[in-house]
C-alpha cells in the first residue's frame, strides 16, 4: 500500500509524515489522525534521508496492513468474545446470583479495554516488529507527475 505525504519532522532514522486520509485507511491505529480527520500523522522509516518539508512516497507491505489490522481489531474482538463467554458460564456454574448477561457483557468490555491497553503499551515499547512500520521509499520531485493505479489503467 503506497501513499503520498509530506515530511513534518525528523526523529533519528524516522520521519513524521503527514498523509491525506483515504477511505481504505479505517481506524487501525497505525497512524494518528488529526483533529479535522482528513490527514494522518505516521512515523515512517526514513530510508531515503528525506528532509523536512519534502513530499515523499510511503509504503507499507499489503500483508502487513492486514496483520496490523488483526492486531488492532481481531485480538480485542477475540478478547471480548472470550471474556463474555467465560463470564457467562462461570456466573451460572458458580451460582453467584449476579445477572448473567450483564456480568458477561461487562467482563467482555473490561477484557477488551485491557487488551487495547496491552497492545498500546507493546506498541510504545517498540515490541511490535518494525515490519509493521511504513517506509519512505522515494522523495517526489514533481507531484504533478504522480498518477494513481486507476489513472495508469485509463492511460492518463
Q: Which domain holds residue 118?
A: 65-125
Q: Let me know whether 73 and 104 are in one domain.
A: yes
Asked whether residue 78 is assigned to any structural domain, the reply reads: yes
Q: Are 61 and 2 in contact (CB under 8 A)?
A: no
pTM of the model: 0.59
DSSP 39-99: EEEEEEEETT---TT-EEEEE--HHHHHHHHIIIIIHHHHHHHHHHHHHHHHHHHHT--S-
pLDDT for res 102:
94
Asked whether residue 23 is assigned to any structural domain, the reply reads: yes
Which three cell numbers mark 17?
509524515
Q: Are 50 and 56 in contact (CB under 8 A)?
A: yes
Asked whether residue 152 is assigned to any structural domain, the reply reads: no
Q: How confident is the model at residue 61 (pLDDT cuts 50, 70, 90)?
A: confident
pLDDT for res 101:
93
93-139 per-position pLDDT tens digit? 998 888 899 999 999 999 999 999 999 888 777 666 666 788 889 88
CATH number, domain with residue 7: 2.40.50.220
Amino acid at each position: 500500500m503506497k501513499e503520498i505525504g509530506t515530511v513534518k519532522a525528523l526523529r533519528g532514522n524516522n520521519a513524521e509524515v503527514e498523509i491525506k486520509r483515504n477511505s481504505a485507511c479505517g481506524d487501525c491505529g497505525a497512524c494518528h489522525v488529526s483533529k479535522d480527520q482528513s490527514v494522518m500523522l505516521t512515523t515512517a522509516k526514513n530510508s531515503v534521508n528525506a528532509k523536512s518539508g519534502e513530499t515523499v512516497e510511503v509504503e507499507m507491505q499489503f500483508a502487513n496492513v492486514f496483520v496490523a489490522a488483526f492486531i488492532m481489531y481481531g485480538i480485542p474482538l477475540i478478547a471480548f468474545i472470550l471474556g463474555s463467554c467465560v463470564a457467562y458460564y462461570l456466573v451460572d456454574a458458580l451460582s453467584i446470583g449476579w445477572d448473567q448477561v450483564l456480568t458477561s457483557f461487562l467482563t467482555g468490555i473490561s477484557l477488551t479495554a485491557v487488551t487495547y491497553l496491552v497492545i498500546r503499551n507493546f506498541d510504545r515499547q517498540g515490541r511490535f516488529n518494525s515490519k509493521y512500520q511504513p517506509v519512505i521509499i522515494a522523495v517526489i520531485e514533481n507531484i504533478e507527475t504522480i498518477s494513481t493505479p486507476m489513472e495508469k489503467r485509463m492511460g492518463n
